[in-house]
Amino acid sequence: MKSPPASLELPAPQLAISARMAPSDWAQLLLLSLIWGGSFFLIAVAVKGLPVLTIVALRVSIAALVLWGVLLVTGRRMPRGRAVWASFAVMGLANNAIPFSLIVFAQTQIPSGLASILNATTPLWTVLVSAIFLSDEPPSAAKLGGVVLGLGGVAVMMGLDSLAGHGMALLPQMAMLGAAVSYALSGAYGRRFSRMGIDPMASATGMLTASSVMLIPMALATGGIPGPEVALHVWAAVATLGIICTGFAYVLFFGILGRAGATNISLVTFLVPVSAIMLGWLFLGEKLSFAHGIGIAMIAGGLALIDGRLAARRRG
């Protein structure tokens, strides 16, 4: 799973975007949150039988094949040129290879619910990255307040848990935050694809293809070829990660994005941790502490401030 790739926005003139989502869009948004929330559950299953890089390499390569199929069926063309594919490589590194690897590594030691909460801090880091690198996206007071509140929630969640004597290992939690920062950086970098007029589905296919080329040799060098000892349910989890949680999720994501816009689809950030926590609790016996509950509330408040719609509705 990942937070919505802000980098892959549809070019403004292509489609008329509705400020309000239709019931079918809400249904698809909930489905997308279940799919991306389920990715944390599936990773928790996969790490029991496969090395980190093997899981990530299989995930991105399977998803790349799915999207190449979509491009062929819909008649879309992939752009050519060394500069474009160099950009795809950078995007694949920042939006797939690095964060996916950090997430899988983190989930070897922390529950899927906690991983999803820390991953949900991506919009907080996006505000900071945009303020530093994007001159046309200055942060508002509400957004900065949301960042402070959300990061305070992360600090409370990790700090109180450690003081209570049952805190999770610090390194995997920092890895999850590193994945969120990588997503934020890729969002700022990837704005170039919209300016270049590249179809968003082609951008997603290009970055997944580039990350596959990078990760497959690394996975073979470090983990080798998995043997028959790997359980069938582990293979099923990895296949579902690639086909459903990455390939199909991108198709679903871009469909909602085209109809409802980036602001509406960003609501998925609020919903993903809920499904991830519930799946971990139901099927993996995972539990979150009281400190995690406080952190969740603060992060949700920070995201609400950044989103801005609750405040606008109250003013209205």
8 part of a folded domain: no
139 part of a folded domain: yes
* pTM of the shown model: 0.86
Contacts of 199 (CB under 8 A, 6+ apart): 76
155 part of a folded domain: yes
13 part of a folded domain: no
12 part of a folded domain: no
pLDDT at residue 104 above 60? yes
What is the count of structural domains for the chain?
1
Contact call for residues 151 and 36 (beta carbons, < 8 A):
no
Q: Give the other-Cβ count within 10 Å of 71's Cβ.
A: 16
Pairwise pLDDT comparison (9 vs 249), residue with the higher score: 249
Contacts of 22 (CB under 8 A, 6+ apart): 259
151 part of a folded domain: yes
Residues 126, 128, 132, CA angle at the centre, nearest 5°? 115
15-71 residue pLDDT tens:
444 556 788 888 998 999 999 999 999 999 999 999 999 999 999 999 999 999 999
In Å, what is the CA distance from 220 to each residue of 54, 89, 250? 7, 20, 26
1 part of a folded domain: no
61 part of a folded domain: yes
Q: Which residue has the tokens 């890895």?
A: 175
pLDDT at residue 205 above 50? yes
State how far the Cα of 157 lies from the Cα of 295, in Å rounded to an integer.
5
**DSSP annotation of 97:** I
The residue segments making up the domain with residue 271 are 20-315
State how far the Cα of 9 lies from the Cα of 26, in Å rounded to an integer.
19
State how far the Cα of 130 lies from the Cα of 128, in Å rounded to an integer.
5
pLDDT at residue 99 above 60? yes
